[in-house]
Amino acid sequence: MSDSSELPKSEKEEEVTPEPEEQCDDSSEDEAAGDVDMDFMRNLFSSALGLSSAAEKVLDELTLDGVARYINSGKCKNIICMVGAGISTSAGIPDFRSPETGLYANLQKYNLPYPEAIFQIDYFKKHPEPFFALARELYPGQFKPTICHYFMKMLKDKGILRRCYTQNIDTLERVAGLEGDDLIEAHGTFYTSHCVSFCCRKEYSLEWMKEKIFSDDIPKCDKCSSLVKPDIVFFGENLPARFFTSMKMDFPRCDLLIVMGTSLQVQPFASLVSRVSKNCPRLLINMEKSGQVKPMMSLFGFGEGMDFDSDKAYRDVAHISTCDDGCLALADLLGWKAELEELVKKEHAKIDSQDAKEKASENKGATAKASSASAPPEPKAEE
C-alpha cells in the first residue's frame, strides 16, 4: 500500500485538517536533509556526465557463497545492515504492506479515514485513541528477537558491524544486544517518549509509557498536560538528525551492505543503498527482489538502485527467502551456524526466564492486593 502522501488530496483533507504547529527550531534536521539533497544531486550529475570512477568487482561470484567467501577473506570490516519489518514477522509482528496479513490491511476496527492515518501526526493530535489501542497489541516486550536479529548481534561481536540502520520501531535490535551506538533507528523508537508540545518536550521512559498504555490511559504530560508520544516518526515529522549525520560518515566506509526484510519503498531510507561506494557489494535477503533501479532512471544514467539481473550486474546479490532462513544459510556458509543457533537458544531461554519472574511477581502483587481488599476492617478501639 502506498504512503499517505500518495493518497488523493480530497481523501486526506476530508477528515484531517492540519493544526497550526507551535514554533520550534528544526534547523538541524532541515540543514541535514538539505545536505542529503545536495549530495544526491552531485552524485546524479557525476553519474550522468561520466565523471565517476570505474567500479571494481569485489565478489568472485554473485551468490550467497560469493558473499560468504568475501566475509571470510578478512577484507570485510565495515558491514552496514539495512533492515525493515520483514526481519520481525517471524517474531509475530506483522509487516505493513502484505495484502492480507500486513498491518495496514487489518485496521478496519479503528474506523480510520485511511490506513496510514494511524501514523499521521495531525490525525494523532486530534484522535490519539486508535494509535494507543494499536500500541497495546504491538508493544515492545511482548516479542522475542529473531534469528536475523541475533545474526546482526554476531556481526557486532565479531567486530565487523559498523552500524544497523533500521526502519523498525519494535526495539528488537536492542533486545538482541545491539546498543544505541550500533543503531540508527531511522523511523524512531518506542524506547523513549516525549511531550508533543514544543514548549515542553519533557522526556518519558519506556516503562512510564508502558504503564500508561496498558492502563488504558491516554498518556498526558504531567508538566503541561499535552499528549505524550513515543519517539517514532509519524508521517509529517522529520527523521532524527542523527540519521542524516551518521549516514554521511558510515556509507562511504561500508565494504558490505546487507539489506533485509524491506521493500525499499519509503524515502529517504530506500535511497541509502545508493550511498555506498561503487565497489561495495550489496546483498538483499528478502521474500522478493526490491530496490531495483528504475528503467527510466537507468536510461539516463541516473540509476544507483540494485541490479541483480542485467548484463552489467557486478556487485548485487539477491537471496530470495525469509530473513531467518537467509541468515541461517549465510551463517552456515561462514561456519557460524551452530554458534548462531546456540546464541538464539540461550537468549530466548533468558527472556523466558525473565518473563516468568515478572509474571510471578505480578501475580504475587495481585494476590496480595486482592487479599487486602477482602479482609474485614479492623474494629475501632473503644475510647
* Catalytic residue list: 187
Give me the amino acid identity at 317: V
C-alpha cell at 329: 544459510
C-alpha cell at 43: 552524485
Q: 37: Cβ–Cβ under 8 A, 6 or more apart, which residues?
A: none
The response to whether 86 counts as a known ligand-binding position is yes
The response to whether 195 counts as a known ligand-binding position is yes
The response to whether 234 counts as a known ligand-binding position is no
The response to whether 88 counts as a known ligand-binding position is yes
The response to whether 85 counts as a known ligand-binding position is yes
Give me the amino acid identity at 353: S
The response to whether 168 counts as a known ligand-binding position is yes
> How distant is the alpha carbon of residue 102 from its chain centre?
16
The response to whether 287 counts as a known ligand-binding position is yes
Give me the amino acid identity at 151: F
The response to whether 17 counts as a known ligand-binding position is no
Q: Residue with C-alpha cell 533507528?
A: 185
- Strands 188-195, 228-232: pairing kind: antiparallel
Contact 329, 319 (CB under 8 A): yes
Contact 164, 185 (CB under 8 A): no
The response to whether 164 counts as a known ligand-binding position is no
The response to whether 332 counts as a known ligand-binding position is no
User: In angstroms, rounded to a whole number, what is the distance separating the alpha carbons of residues 364 and 362?
Assistant: 5
The response to whether 65 counts as a known ligand-binding position is no
The response to whether 167 counts as a known ligand-binding position is yes
The response to whether 263 counts as a known ligand-binding position is yes
The response to whether 224 counts as a known ligand-binding position is yes
The response to whether 96 counts as a known ligand-binding position is yes
The response to whether 371 counts as a known ligand-binding position is no
Strand-pair partners of 319: 285
Binding residues: 85-89, 95-97, 167-170, 195, 200, 221, 224, 262-263, 286-288, 323
Binding residues for Zn(2+): 195, 200, 221, 224
Binding residues for NAD(+): 85-89, 95-97, 167-170, 262-263, 286-288, 323
